[in-house]
């Protein structure tokens, strides 16, 4: 019996020794210098190095391909126009005077060989933009002169107004100190500094054809949106000639749809609602041209205003336009109402004489009841780029036609109110040319207001 127990004890000891030896071997195999864990870590490190090297190689290859693409693209504005090439990468080209511009990926150069005159680019869908050259420190806001002849000095003076003989016209709250841009100013400035310019839409924002309030003036579709326009989830503005202007839109919504126009990597730009700095830079560029001298003080010759008539008539034959009305009862303004939808024809000015509506005539004016106590004043809105007489440096309708929302806003001197007041620029069909110049700045409209037929917007592009 004792002999058997001794044998069992020895067997146990041997078993334990064997297990310890196996455990040691296993630990060495797992944790040793050449063990599984170290081996796995080395394999991981090697894989990471390989992946990093591959990424670097791919990056070099992409750079080489992009450089090859740049070299194969036109080098001059004239050559780019002749070839009609859609640029596959952003590339700097020059005109015959030696000035340079950057053509972004996804666009071609369409017209105008001299950069100083406003070179036009277009995407594959026909949206057009004009290059605004910015040399030295030309990309900046206009500095207003706060003088007695220009504007009231008190920041509480809500009736302040700029005077045409003192510089740029401005109305409503300019002296307030809290005006700011609701955009990435640093990113915009960086893009302009690197590329020496930016792009502005050649036309006021137009309604896209997939919107349910789009009017096809060439067909029998003569309906007109009489309620506030819905931006939907996929609507994008267009920058095309002869299109229904996108009005009845708030500044908030104008910002939203402007940002949708170009996003992702298909194009070498980012789009946004025009900002105050861009607008001022464009106006300065235009006004410094001797052909447009004084336009910042009186733009009557270059825009659709309510006093655009006689020698200042800008309408061309068979122009596409829409008619808006103000309905009066006695001497009291009642409301805006839609007149006639977009149509082709010729009109005499932005404003036509008022008259009382006669019996049986009311159906022409949005079905308002015909009654001789009502008086209608007629204001004419032109389709985008409807007249070449409104063209400045190849940009249409910056003066007159539609007020245009910008990203500039304020709370009116930091007052503790929730309302944001967004700045509109450029005048409109219900303003006159000396007051509503291309430079005019008004900041008295809420950024949520979307009931105006005379307020639209415009898109700008900054190169990525």
Q: pTM to 2 decimals?
A: 0.80
Mind listing the pLDDT tens digit for each residue in 285-337? 999 999 998 898 889 999 999 888 877 888 888 888 888 877 666 555 555 66
Domain spans of the chain, in order of start = 73-124, 164-305+387-463, 310-382
What pLDDT is stored for residue 412 in this prediction?
72
Q: Are strands 128-133 and 197-201 parallel, antiparallel or unpaired?
A: antiparallel
Count Cβ atoms within 10 A of the Cβ of residue 47 and give its class: 0-12 exposed, 13-18 middle, 19 or more buried: exposed
Which of these ranges, 16-20, 174-178, 408-412, has the smallest mean pLDDT? 174-178
pLDDT tier at 192, thresholds 50, 70, 90: very high
- Of 107 and 33, which is predicted with more confidence? 107
3-state secondary structure (DSSP) of residue 69: helix
The pLDDT-based confidence of 87 (bands split at 50, 70, 90) is: very high
Alpha carbon separation from 172 to 82, 178, 347, 348 (Å, rounded):
48, 13, 32, 31
- Kindly report the CA angle at 298 between 297 and 300, in degrees rounded to 5? 165
Residue 147 has pLDDT above 50, yes or no: no
Buried b / exposed e along 392-402 (16+ C-beta atoms within 10 A)? bbbbbbbbbbb
- Once rounded to an integer, what is the mean pLDDT over residues 182-191? 97
pLDDT digits (tens, 9 = 90+) for 415-456: 666 788 999 999 999 888 888 899 988 888 999 998 888 999
* In the chain, % of residues over pLDDT 90: 45
The dihedrals phi and psi of 344, each to the nearest 5 degrees, come to: -95, 140
**What is the structure's pLDDT at 158?**
37
Q: Which residue has the higher pLDDT, 112 or 56?
A: 112
DSSP annotation of 242 reads: T
Residue indicated by tokens 């977009």: 342
Average pLDDT over residues 231-241: 94
Q: Which residue has the higher pLDDT, 138 or 12?
A: 138
CA distance 279 to 299: 15
C-alpha 55/C-alpha 52 separation (Å) is: 5
Residues 310 and 313: their CA atoms lie apart, in Å, by: 5
Q: Which fold has domain 164-305+387-463?
A: 3.90.1580
Q: How far apart are CA 136 and CA 288, in angstroms?
A: 15
């Amino acid at each position: 019996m004792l002999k058997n127990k001794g044998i069992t004890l020895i067997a146990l000891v041997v078993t334990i020794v064997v297990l310890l030896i196996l455990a040691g071997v296993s630990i060495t195999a797992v944790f040793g210098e050449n063990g599984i864990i170290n081996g796995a870590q080395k394999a991981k490190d090697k894989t990471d190095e390989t992946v990093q090297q591959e990424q670097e190689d791919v990056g070099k290859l992409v750079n080489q391909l992009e450089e090859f693409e740049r070299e194969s693209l036109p080098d001059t504005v004239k050559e780019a126009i002749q070839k009609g090439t859609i640029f596959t990468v952003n590339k700097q080209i020059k005109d015959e005077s030696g000035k340079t511009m950057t053509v972004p990926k996804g666009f071609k150069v369409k017209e105008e060989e001299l950069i100083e005159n406003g070179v036009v680019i277009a995407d594959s869908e026909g949206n057009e933009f004009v290059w605004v050259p910015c040399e030295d420190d030309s990309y900046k806001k206009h500095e207003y002169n706060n003088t007695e002849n220009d504007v009231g000095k008190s920041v509480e003076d809500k009736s302040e107004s700029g005077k045409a003989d003192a510089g740029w016209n401005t109305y409503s709250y300019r002296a307030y100190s809290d005006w700011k841009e609701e955009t990435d100013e640093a990113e915009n400035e960086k893009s302009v500094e690197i590329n020496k310019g930016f792009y502005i839409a050649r036309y006021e924002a137009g309604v896209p054809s997939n919107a349910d309030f789009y009017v096809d003036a060439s067909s029998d579709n003569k309906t007109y949106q009489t309620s506030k326009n819905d931006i939907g989830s996929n609507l994008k503005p267009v920058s095309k000639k002869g299109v229904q202007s996108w009005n009845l839109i708030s500044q908030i919504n104008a910002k939203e749809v402007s940002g949708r126009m170009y996003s992702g990597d298909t194009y070498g730009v980012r789009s946004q609602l025009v900002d105050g700095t861009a607008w001022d830079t464009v106006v300065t560029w235009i006004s410094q041209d001797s052909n447009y001298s004084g336009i910042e003080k009186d733009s009557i010759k270059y825009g659709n205003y309510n006093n655009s008539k006689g020698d200042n008539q800008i309408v061309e034959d068979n122009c596409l336009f829409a008619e808006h009305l103000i309905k009066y009862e006695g001497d009291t303004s009642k409301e805006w109402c839609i007149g006639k939808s977009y149509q082709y024809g010729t009109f005499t000015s932005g404003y036509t004489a008022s008259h009382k509506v006669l019996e049986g005539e009311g159906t022409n004016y949005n079905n308002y009841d015909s009654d001789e106590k009502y008086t209608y004043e007629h204001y004419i809105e032109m389709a985008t780029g409807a007249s070449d007489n409104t063209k400045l440096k190849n940009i249409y309708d910056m003066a007159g036609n539609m007020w245009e929302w910008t990203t500039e806003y304020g709370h009116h001197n930091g007052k503790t109110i929730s309302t944001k007041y967004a700045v509109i620029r450029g005048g409109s069909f219900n303003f006159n040319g000396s007051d509503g110049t291309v430079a005019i700045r008004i900041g008295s409209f809420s950024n949520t207001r979307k009931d105006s037929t005379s307020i639209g917007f415009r898109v700008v592009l900054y190169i990525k």
